[in-house]
């Protein structure tokens, strides 16, 4: 660990100094009104129902607050940020306005070539890889670590797997900052190994290999998953002992299903006693992610015409929320309120299948009363949620003055 004088994880005791700025930058009046009225706003032909849990989670609030505290603590120092603090373009834009320099990607980490010992580097809520941390420690700069506690819990699990000789099978996106940082934790122990699977379909490849039915054998498997596995990964050796973990923002039910299915595959191939000794799995989805997914599932029990999910297109937990909603109701994942054109009735949104931004006309019924469900990813501030509410009402010709 870096020396105490250059490594900070608990802020600088400046919360009161930055609170007014945070409130001005991110609070939303219409969200406050929704909360005061039982998560419901009704005006004219429009009813908006807000999920019980939505938007900024504790880990995100903490990371953003610590970034603001860092600027207040070091007003004259060059401050850098390893990637994005969270996956929300508006929050990151605010930090850039404060003069914080965003470091670009380099390989599986970030480019620290411009960082000097006198600089300050903020580590994002996703965390950074072991290599990144050691690089910064070598430079000798001040590090402000905002890594989410839920992410740290997964790291501990992966460390324990590596220590005991288990391969970490990680349900996540191999390119995501959090997953890269999590996977790197196996490097704490010689021979530590990981494999990242994106979804159940990829987990089924793992199960097929365990049971000897993967088409093409070892060479084909290594070719397909070389980008998502440790450099020395050997499926014949490293799929004998498996511990399941996950990126904290994935669909919880899928993570649990993958763990159970892989365990069953090992039992079919080697027997129940082998599974008991050579397989481990734990639910490492963060509570905030789970709470938002549960709240969406509860809201979807109501009659809704449309569901709006607000958040960055690269926000994994927001994508997961949109996928849940789309199973039950017509759903649009918008980056922010600007995606709703109040004049034309067109919505600009992320296509849930292709991931590309598209436009859809007549997204909301205009000839009858309408019920709109609303939620937001854990990195979406309240003001962006409130702006979305305003545009929904404006699209249907509702005077906002009549609401507030």
pTM of the full structure: 0.92
178: annotated active-site residue: yes
Residue 90 above 50 pLDDT?
yes
Task: Please count the other Cβ atoms lying within 10 Å of the Cβ belonging to residue 317.
Answer: 28
Q: What is residue 28's DSSP assignment?
A: -
**Given pLDDT bands bounded at 50, 70 and 90, which one contains residue 404?**
low
211 pLDDT higher than 70: yes
pLDDT at 4: 52
Average pLDDT over residues 208-231: 96
CB atoms < 10 A from the CB of 386, how many? 19
What pLDDT score does 287 carry? 85
Where do we find the tokens 């397909």?
A: 224
Distance of CA 106 to the CA centre of its chain: 21
Share of the chain above pLDDT 90, in %: 92
* pLDDT for the residue numbered 251: 87
Average confidence (pLDDT) over 222-238:
97
Render pLDDT for 253-312 as a digit per residue (tens, 0 to 9).
899 999 999 999 999 999 999 999 999 998 777 888 899 999 999 999 999 999 999 999
2 has pLDDT over 60: no
pLDDT tens per residue, range 244-253: 999 988 988 8
pLDDT at 110 over 60: yes
Q: What is the mean pLDDT of residues 363-391?
A: 96
Residue 97 pLDDT > 60, yes or no? Answer: yes
Higher local confidence (pLDDT), 108 or 382: 382
The answer to whether 209 and 269 have CB atoms below 8 angstroms apart is no
Q: Quickly list DSSP for 206-263.
A: HHHHHTT--TTHHHHHHHHHGGGB-TT--HHHHTSSEEEEE-TTS-HHHHHHHHHHHH
Mind listing the pLDDT tens digit for each residue in 131-167? 999 999 999 999 999 999 999 999 999 999 999 999 9
> Considering 84, 159, 178, 387, which one is annotated as catalytic?
178
Helices 58-73 and 15-26 meet at what angle, rounded to 10? 120
Q: Are 237 and 276 in contact (CB under 8 A)?
A: no
Going along the chain from its start, the domains and CATH numbers come out as 15-57+288-402 (3.40.1010.20), 58-148 (3.40.50.11270), 150-285 (3.40.1010.20)
Taking only the tens place, the pLDDT of each residue in 314-332 is 999 999 999 999 999 999 9
**Where does 314-397 show beta strands of DSSP type E?**
331-334, 340-341, 346-350, 357-361, 370-376
> For residue range 35-65, what is the model confidence (pLDDT) as tens digits?
999 999 999 999 999 999 999 999 999 999 9
Could you tell me if residue 173 is left (phi over 0), alpha (psi between -120 and 50 degrees) or otherwise beta? beta
Q: Residue 1 pLDDT > 50, yes or no?
A: no
């Amino acid at each position: 660990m870096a020396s105490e004088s250059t490594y900070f994880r608990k802020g600088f005791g400046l919360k009161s100094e930055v609170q007014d700025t945070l409130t001005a930058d991110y609070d939303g009046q219409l969200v406050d009104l929704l909360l005061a009225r039982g998560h419901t706003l009704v005006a004219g032909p429009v009813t908006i129902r807000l999920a019980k849990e939505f938007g900024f989670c504790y880990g995100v609030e903490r990371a953003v607050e610590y970034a603001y505290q860092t600027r207040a603590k070091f007003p004259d120092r060059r401050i850098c940020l390893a990637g994005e603090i969270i996956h929300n373009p508006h929050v990151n834009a605010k930090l850039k306005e404060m003069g914080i320099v965003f470091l670009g990607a380099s390989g599986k980490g970030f480019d620290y070539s411009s960082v000097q010992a006198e600089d300050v580097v903020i580590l994002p809520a996703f965390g950074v890889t072991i290599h990144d941390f050691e690089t910064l420690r070598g430079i000798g700069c001040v590090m402000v670590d905002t890594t989410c506690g839920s992410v740290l819990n997964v790291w501990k699990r992966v460390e324990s797997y590596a220590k005991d000789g288990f391969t970490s099978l990680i349900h996540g996106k191999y390119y995501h900052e959090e997953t890269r940082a999590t996977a790197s934790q196996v490097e704490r122990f010689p021979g530590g190994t990981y494999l990242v699977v994106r979804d159940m379909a990829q987990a089924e490849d793992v199960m097929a290999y365990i049971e000897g039915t993967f088409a093409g054998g070892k060479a084909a498997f290594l070719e397909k998953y070389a980008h998502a596995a440790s450099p020395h990964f050997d499926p014949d050796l490293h799929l004998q002992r498996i511990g399941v973990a996950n990126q904290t923002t994935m669909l919880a039910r899928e993570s649990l299903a993958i763990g159970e299915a892989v365990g069953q595959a090992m039992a079919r191939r080697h027997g129940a006693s082998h599974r008991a000794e050579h397989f481990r799995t734990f639910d490492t989805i963060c509570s905030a992610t789970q709470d938002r997914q549960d709240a969406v599932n509860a809201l979807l029990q109501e009659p809704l015409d449309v569901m709006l999910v607000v958040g960055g297109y690269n926000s994994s937990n927001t994508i997961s929320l949109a996928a849940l909603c789309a199973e039950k109701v017509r759903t649009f994942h918008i980056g922010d309120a600007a995606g709703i054109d109040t004049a034309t009735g067109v919505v600009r949104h992320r296509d849930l299948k292709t991931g590309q931004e598209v436009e859809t006309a007549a997204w909301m019924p205009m000839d009858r009363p309408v019920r709109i469900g609303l939620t937001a990813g854990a990195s979406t501030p309240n003001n962006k949620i409130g702006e979305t509410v305003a545009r929904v009402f404006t699209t249907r010709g509702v005077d906002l003055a009549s609401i507030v």
